[in-house]
Amino acid sequence: MLKKLLPCLGKYKKYAILTPIFVILEVILEISIPFLMSKIIDVGVKNGDVDFILQTGGLMVLIAVFALLFGAIHGRFSAIASVGFAKELRKKIFDKIQDFSFANIDKFTTPSLVTRLTTDVTNAQMSFMMIIRLLVRAPFMLISATIMAITINPGLSLIFLFAIPILASALFIVASKAFPRFKAMLKKYDNMNASVQENLIAIRVVKAFVREDYENKKFLDSAEAVRLAHFNAEKLLVWAMPIMQLTMYGSITAIFWFGGNLIIGEKMLSGELFGFITYSTQILVSLMMISFVFVQIVLSRASVSRIIEILDEEIDIRDDSNEDPEVKDGSVVFENVSFSYSKNKDNLVLENINFEIKPGETVGIIGGTGSAKTTLVQLIPRLYDVLEGRILVGGRDVRDYKIKTLRDSVAMVLQKNVLFSGTIKDNLKWGNENATDEEIIEACKIAQAYDFIMSFPKGFETELGQGGVNVSGGQKQRLTIARALLKKPKILILDDSTSAVDTATDSKIRQGLKENVSDTTVIIIAQRISSVSDADKIIVLDDGKINAIGTHEELLATNSIYREVYESQQKGVA
């Protein structure tokens, strides 16, 4: 699985390659120290050769210094490589998410995308660091220490024939029992993250409904579930250490017993025994390290597979055509269009939609909540693709355009709109970064935003909070309309964009659009009949189907749904 992520290393690749090299150099040096020590005892001390002791001792110090140096180097390199890896990986995931269509985002949900970009990448980063350091160090140490021990005394090494399998199988049993428990634990973490994220995103709603206690309890429950699951997994792992120590001290006792007898029989030197014991410790410690690295890697497999899921996600709306035609005009034609969010014919949200809008026309769309008004207009800038039929914009199928070209010509003010942190001007320029001050002022005047912006002490330089929290709902809507106007679109779609604006201002905005951008096709979705009554034509949607198309007068005369809505709203006025 990691293989898939390796291309993400980018320019940090050389550090990822250098790290294991320095790890190996360090191990070689570390392995030689017990050997020199045994020589000091067996040759230097035994013969009272002070020069030999000093020389070998000096060599040992030198080796130790180099081992320290190499250790520091691979520590630094592995840090550079793994942190760089995480950065490149995050960038790659982020880039991919930017390409996601609305349907892709629906599938993953926002909180899970956030977890994947943060926690999951951190897990992958940790495993990566372990692999290039510990997973190189431990096996290499295990093998070299075993070779050294066998060189010193093959007979005594037979002890490892017992010790290693015992320790290995014990650790294996513990680890394999712990895996499923750790996996369960990660799931609980996911739940907890989801609960936190949902709460934070909706914190205003929580407060408005005074649901803090309920949310607190929900969070406590999920935190408790994490505690239990974590404890459940950890309580198995606590066995690893005692088993390890038991085997280690058992082996050392056996080595002393048999080794002592060999020394008495003058078949082994005491320095050799010293070296042997050091190597045996290194062997058993490496074994334990390997088993723990494996636990960690398996744990992060869940994270890695969640990351790969994103990288492998098929983007369902992409530029298929090689040509890049311009959008000629603002005409829109729907031909037998059907649509389903689940791409399933039995679950149609829009069914057999046919209509035609000429360039520069103003069209209203009216229909009950859930009648698929938003769904219908989202198909025009290809936020979703049709299931059947086709949509023509400027006389061509929307799928013939490059997505950027199409969306630059079709500005849509979304029903659930957001502003970004930054000044009002930054936010407006977000629609068109090359907009001049005059253009900005003109767009704001059309959208009836100019007066209230100028009423702020800092005018266009007023800082907006995250999501535009410090402007009112109606002000926010007018800013988003101005932002869309700055794109100078051929088609402007307003999805319930004046719902929070009073009727008089609403009418002024429509007047402004008519006078200033008369060649732009305007599609207005509204709940209020008054918002669409002066449109060139009005489409009445009912449960995903077109119920009627006509002017205000025609519909009043012929369409019962329209008349009912109109009369109920008139009553409200009266």
| 415 counts as binding Mg ion under rule CB under 5 A | yes
Q: Which listed option, ligand ATP, Mg ion, none, makes contact with residue 369 (CB within 5 to 8 Å by class)?
A: ligand ATP
> What size, in residues, is the chain?
574
Give the residue ranges of DSSP H helices in 385-491.
403-409, 424-429, 437-446, 450-455, 473-485
Which of 185, 195, 187 lies closest to 221 in space, CA to CA? Answer: 195
Give the residue closest to Mg ion by C-beta.
Answer: 374
> For strand 388-393 and strand 545-550, is the pairing parallel, antiparallel, or unpaired?
unpaired
| 543 counts as binding ligand ATP under rule CB under 6 A | no
Quick one: which H or E segment has residue 365? strand 362-367
Quote the distance between the C-alpha of residue 295 and its chain's center.
24
**CB 415 to Mg ion: min, Å:** 5
**CB 466 to ligand ATP: min, Å:** 23
Which residue's CB is nearer to Mg ion, number 178 or number 365? 365
Quick one: which H or E segment has residue 225? helix 212-237
Which residue's CB is nearer to Mg ion, number 255 or number 541? 541
For helices 240-264 and 154-201, give the axis angle rounded to 10 degrees.
Answer: 160
Give the residue ranges of DSSP H helices in 313-436.
373-378, 403-409, 424-429
| 415 counts as binding ligand ATP under rule CB under 6 A | yes
| 331 counts as binding Mg ion under rule CB under 5 A | no
Cα–Cα distance between 485 and 515 in angstroms, integer? 13
Cα–Cα distance between 405 and 327 in angstroms, integer? 7
Q: Which listed option, ligand ATP, Mg ion, none, makes contact with residue 349 (CB within 5 to 8 Å by class)?
A: ligand ATP
Q: 391 near 334, Cβ under 8 Å?
A: yes
Task: Give phi and psi for 103, each to the nearest 5.
Answer: -65, -40
Which residue's CB is nearer to Mg ion, number 501 or number 517? 501
| 364 counts as binding ligand ATP under rule CB under 6 A | no
Mask: binding to Mg ion, 372-391, rule CB under 5 A, as x and -? --x-----------------
Identity at 453, one-letter amino acid code: I
Tell me the window of 319-327, 337-345, 408-416, 543-551 that interacts with Mg ion (CB under 5 A). Answer: 408-416
Which residue's CB is nearer to Mg ion, number 300 or number 375? 375
Cα–Cα distance between 557 and 76 in angstroms, integer? 79
Which residue's CB is nearer to ligand ATP, number 258 or number 341? 341
According to CB under 6 A, which one of 106, 224, 312, 451 is a site residue for ligand ATP? Answer: 106
Cα–Cα distance between 489 and 275 in angstroms, integer? 80
Which residue's CB is nearer to Mg ion, number 300 or number 374? 374
DSSP SS3 for 491: strand
Q: What does the DSSP assignment read for 168-216?
A: HHHHHHHHHHHHHHHHHHHHHHHHHHHHHHHHHHTHHHHHHTT-HHHHH
According to CB under 6 A, which one of 373, 407, 487, 552 is a site residue for ligand ATP? Answer: 373
Strand partners, 366: 540
**CB 377 to Mg ion: min, Å:** 9
Q: Which listed option, ligand ATP, Mg ion, none, makes contact with residue 340 (CB within 5 to 8 Å by class)?
A: none
| 369 counts as binding ligand ATP under rule CB under 6 A | yes
Q: Which listed option, Mg ion, ligand ATP, none, makes contact with residue 341 (CB within 5 to 8 Å by class)?
A: ligand ATP
According to CB under 6 A, which one of 259, 271, 367, 489 is a site residue for ligand ATP? Answer: 367
Which residue's CB is nearer to Mg ion, number 415 or number 499? 415
Q: Which listed option, Mg ion, ligand ATP, none, makes contact with residue 106 (CB within 5 to 8 Å by class)?
A: ligand ATP
Cα–Cα distance between 353 and 468 in angstroms, integer? 36
Which residue's CB is nearer to ligand ATP, number 344 or number 369? 369
Mask: binding to ligand ATP, 314-353, rule CB under 6 A, as x and -? ---------------------------x-------x----
Beta strands in 4-70 (DSSP E): none
Tell me the window of 199-207, 256-264, 373-381, 500-508 that interacts with ligand ATP (CB under 6 A). Answer: 373-381
Which residue's CB is nearer to Mg ion, number 406 or number 413? 413
Q: Tokens for 483, please give them.
A: 């932002």
Sheet arrangement for strand 388-393: 350-357, 332-339, 388-393, 396-397
Quote the distance between the C-alpha of residue 192 and its chain's center.
17
| 499 counts as binding Mg ion under rule CB under 5 A | no
Q: What does the binding site for ligand ATP look like in residue numbers (CB under 6 A)?
A: 106, 341, 349, 367, 369-375, 415, 496
Q: What does the binding site for Mg ion look like in residue numbers (CB under 5 A)?
A: 374, 415
